[in-house]
Amino acid sequence: MAGYYLILVNVLAFVLYGVDKWKARRSLWRIPEAELISIAAIGGAAGALAGMLFFHHKTRKPRFRYGIPLILILWILLILYLTRL
């Protein structure tokens, strides 16, 4: 069940980064940065990082450039810890 959650939240994160990039190019209302970071924090860090790299979006902002990979590392460590119990 947890695997399905992680797949869903990562796909959602990837899509949100793509939508935000699309909106940015058209000068439309944007997805708040806090929401983009939050989706990574609740398990979508891999999708967020993939979206950043694929769409070339938010890669210059330090909170994204360093924060999203850090969140991903923390999630990997958490999963490794929980699977070794």
Distance CA 13, CA 9 (A): 6
pLDDT at 85: 72
Range of lowest pLDDT (5-9, 17-21, 54-58, 81-85) = 81-85
Amino acid type, 40: A
Torsion of CA 25, 31, 34, 39, to 10 degrees: -110
Mean pLDDT of 11-32: 97
Q: What is the CA radius of gyration of the chain?
A: 13
- Which pLDDT tens digit goes with each residue over 31-58? 999 999 999 999 999 999 999 999 999 9
Q: Is the pTM of this model over 0.85?
A: yes
